[in-house]
Amino acid sequence: MTCVLVRYHEVALKKGNRPYFVELLKRNLVSAVKGLGLEEAKSLPARLLLRFSAGGNAEEIRRRVEGVFGVANFSFAERVPRDLDALQAKVLDALDGKRFASFRVDARRADKEFPLTSPEINRRIGAAIKERSGARVDLKNGELTIAIEILPRDAFFAFDKIAGAGGLPVGASGRVVSLISGGIDSPVAAYRMMQRGCRLIFVHFHGAPYLDGTSQEKVRQLVQILTRHQFTSRLYLVPFGEIQRQIVAAVLRPLRVVLYRRMMLRIAESIARREKAGALVTGESLAQVASQTLENMTVIEKAARLSILRPLVGMDKQEIIDQARRIGTFETSAIPDQDCCQLFVPKHPATKARLADVEHSESRLDLAAMIQLGVEKAEKEEFKFPE
């Protein structure tokens, strides 16, 4: 039998809502480990316990739990009777054959009725381990940590503490629409909002019929990678080429990118309303490219009424790249593609678009019809994890 003890930090801070958050975290964990022989998922005081059938694939369980937001850390643990002698015997058994020069015991007593305090448990079990193994106690840098947890009904011990993905359980902060290009930034932005508890619906604009499908294929791969954290995803693929052609016909070159962006926001907003999503997410980072100057971002965002969340706005490119590597999206983002934003645009777009000029240009367009065209032609795709 394999037990995993899951600990949460930030979740625990949400006092009044705590049962809701814990329940959500539990549900997400159950989705994450689907197909791996889960027999029981149970709330314990300040912990969640996942119990798997014998012969569970520990490597895969570990990988799956690592992706769940709201998990501070977790351990593969053994459940033992709440009796110190029995506990000690089990710990010594489990240590048989393990080699370590130093160790520490870290007992937590969630049940204050238990007759020994945590330091007393540490001392007793520590002395027994020292005698049996000959290893020395090192409270700071012990090579091996033996974590012991005494809960009201059960006791556990574990040798490892694996860092979780942190944040809040997906779903705790509501639904948002994420504008995802095939680039490096937007998948990182999506990840960061998911980590804050948002459930994402993805929207991608592609240059069909003027460009090939490379950006769509990349975005599918990126959404599949990100779905690991929210278990199901919906992606809207919006053909944007025809809309861009209409913009190009009516608008001077320097303003085109700003108009593309405003149109993207309007279409994304329309999809957000259908999906009952409360905000839009972009991968914009201040001053990274011409469309992301303070002036242009301000003019662009005025096209939408929903809030625009920009989790990367204050990050350096290098920080974003580092995070993209850690979350596994960088390699896919780095594949060359045909990005619709480069369609019909000049080398030197306006960096300080004025709202009056932009609105004047847009007055020549039938915006409502263009939004409708985008929404109607959008294709929906569904993603699942585990696949």
339-358: contacts with ligand ATP (CB under 6 A): 340-341
Output the smallest distance, CB 226 to ligand ATP, in A.
13
Among residues 28, 173, 181, 244, the one that binds Mg ion under rule CB under 5 A = 181
Site size toward Mg ion, by CB under 5 A: 2
Q: Does 183 bind Mg ion (CB under 5 A)?
A: yes
Q: Is 233 in the site for ligand ATP (CB under 6 A)?
A: no
| 288 contacts ligand ATP (rule: CB under 6 A) | yes
Q: Does 70 bind ligand ATP (CB under 6 A)?
A: no
Cβ partners under 8 Å of residue 51, min gap 6: 1, 2, 3, 38, 39, 40, 41, 42, 79
Which residue number, 26 or 234, has a Cβ lying nearer to ligand ATP? 234
CB of 387 to ligand ATP, least distance (A): 24
**Could you give phi then psi for residue 367, rounded to 5 degrees?**
-60, -45
Query: Minimum distance from CB of 314 to Mg ion (Å)?
Result: 18
Residue 110 interacting entry, from ligand ATP, Mg ion, none, C-beta within 5 to 8 Å by type: none
Q: Measured between alpha carbons, how far is 324 from 360 in angstroms, rounded to an integer? A: 39
Binding part of the chain for ligand ATP, among 5-13, 21-29, 245-253, 278-286 by CB under 6 A, reads 278-286
In the structure encoding, which two tokens stand for residue 382, read together?
């569904």
CA 216, 221, 222, 224 torsion-angle sign = positive
DSSP per position, 305-340: SSEEE-TTTT--HHHHHHHHHHHT-HHHHTS----G
Give the residue nearest to ligand ATP (CB): 183
DSSP H or E segment with residue 375: helix 367-377
* 323 touching ligand ATP, by CB under 6 A: no
Q: With contact defined as beta carbons under 8 Å apart, do 151 and 110 qualify?
A: yes
Least distance to ligand ATP, CB of residue 300, Å: 9
291 lines the binding site for ligand ATP (CB under 6 A): yes
Q: How far apart are CA 290 and CA 304, in angstroms?
A: 20
Residue 289 binds which of ligand ATP, Mg ion, none (CB < 5-8 A, kind-dependent): ligand ATP
Residue in 97, 74, 96, 94 with CA at minimum distance from that of residue 86: 94
Q: Tokens at residue 31, please? A: 């989705």
Report the C-alpha gap between 80 and 149 in whole angstroms.
10
Whole-number Cα distances in Å, 349 to 160, 241, 253, 345: 54, 19, 7, 7
Query: Smallest distance from the beta carbon of 211 to ligand ATP, in angstroms?
Result: 10
Opening angle at CA 288, ends 284 and 293, nearest 5: 80
Q: Is 204 in the site for ligand ATP (CB under 6 A)?
A: yes
| Shortest separation between residue 169's beta carbon and ligand ATP, angstroms | 24
Residue with tokens 């678009």, as numbered in its chain: 353
Q: Does 292 bind ligand ATP (CB under 6 A)?
A: yes
Q: Could you say which residues in the range 240-269 bind ligand ATP, by CB under 6 A?
A: 264
Q: Which is nearer to Mg ion, 142 or 183 (CB)?
A: 183
CB-nearer residue toward ligand ATP: 278 or 386: 278
Q: How far is the CB of 366 from ligand ATP (least distance, A)?
A: 22
- Residues near ligand ATP, by CB under 6 A: 179-181, 183-186, 203-205, 264, 282-284, 288-289, 291-292, 340-341
